[in-house]
């Protein structure tokens, strides 16, 4: 069974640009959650998608958005990048009554 | 609101036992999870508790007391490769996971 795939692994962007990250969950998992991880802040919940609908949302500004497609693949988008958006972005794939399985993450650096 | 607390750092000696505590206050509870994360890698699942008591899995055990909002992860026979960050997480309503900031464990010879 293939794991969670996130692309790209590394990304460097400049302030003001926008970025799109992709996550393919484990086959059969309909729930995808996104997290931002920074030193000292731990894993901060961004949002969760289930069957193409955003079901939960964390406390992030509207510059952070996402979507989920019919095949459960999900994308998250960050517009008007700021230096503070530099972080590891993790995607978690969740089945029914299971733990969250994480992808390797996308390391975003904003310069 | 959601609040999950765990110590920031711990150090222990190879071969010893270490206990990492986690206290939580969350609205809704559908289980408590422990993850291990090595530097630069994704978190990997270690254990899961939904009922009170101890769950043992090889060298790792996890305990839960729902009435006290308390859990701990016990690591026995520590090895150098156990040096990592250990994340406590509570699963809330739906599939929303709330994570602590993690405990960075350093195992010394």
- Report CB contact under 8 Å: B96, A100: no
Q: Report pLDDT for A1.
A: 57
For the beta carbon of residue B26, count every other beta carbon within 10 angstroms: 18
User: A31-41: per-residue pLDDT in tens?
Assistant: 999 999 998 77
List phi, psi (to 5°) of B69. 60, 50
Contact A76, A65 (CB under 8 A): yes
- Which residues have CB under 8 Å from A67's CB, separation 6+? A49, A52, A74, A75
Residue ranges of chain B whose pLDDT lies below 50? none
| Of B41, B42, B94, Cβ closest to residue A55 | B94
Pairing of the two strands B103-108 and B53-57: unpaired
Mean pLDDT taken over chain A: 93
Given its phi and psi angles, is residue B10 left (phi above 0), alpha (psi -120 to 50 degrees) or beta?
A: beta
Res. A56 pLDDT band, cuts 50 70 90: confident
- Report CB contact under 8 Å: B97, A50: no
Distance CA B30, CA A60 (A): 24
Contact A69, A50 (CB under 8 A): no
């Amino acid at each position: 069974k293939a794991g969670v795939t996130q692309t790209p692994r590394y990304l460097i962007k400049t302030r003001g640009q926008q970025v799109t990250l992709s996550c393919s969950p484990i086959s059969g998992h309909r729930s995808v959650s996104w997290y931002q991880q920074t030193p000292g802040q731990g894993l901060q919940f961004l949002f969760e998608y289930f069957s193409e609908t955003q079901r939960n949302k964390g406390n992030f500004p509207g510059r952070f958005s996402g979507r989920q497609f019919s095949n459960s693949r999900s994308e998250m988008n960050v517009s008007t990048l700021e230096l503070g958006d530099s972080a590891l972005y993790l995607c978690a794939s969740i089945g029914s009554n299971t733990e969250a399985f994480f992808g390797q993450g996308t390391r975003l650096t904003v310069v | 609101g959601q609040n999950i607390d765990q110590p920031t750092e711990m150090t222990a000696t190879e071969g010893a036992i270490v206990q990492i505590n986690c206290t939580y206050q969350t609205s809704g509870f559908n289980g408590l999870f422990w993850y291990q994360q090595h530097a630069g890698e994704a978190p990997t699942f270690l254990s899961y508790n939904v009922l009170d008591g101890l769950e043992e899995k090889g060298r790792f055990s996890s305990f839960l007391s729902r009435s006290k909002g308390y859990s701990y992860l016990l690591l026995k026979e520590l090895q150098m490769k156990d040096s990592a960050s250990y994340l406590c997480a509570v699963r809330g309503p739906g599939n929303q996971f709330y994570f602590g900031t993690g405990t960075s464990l350093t195992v010394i010879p």
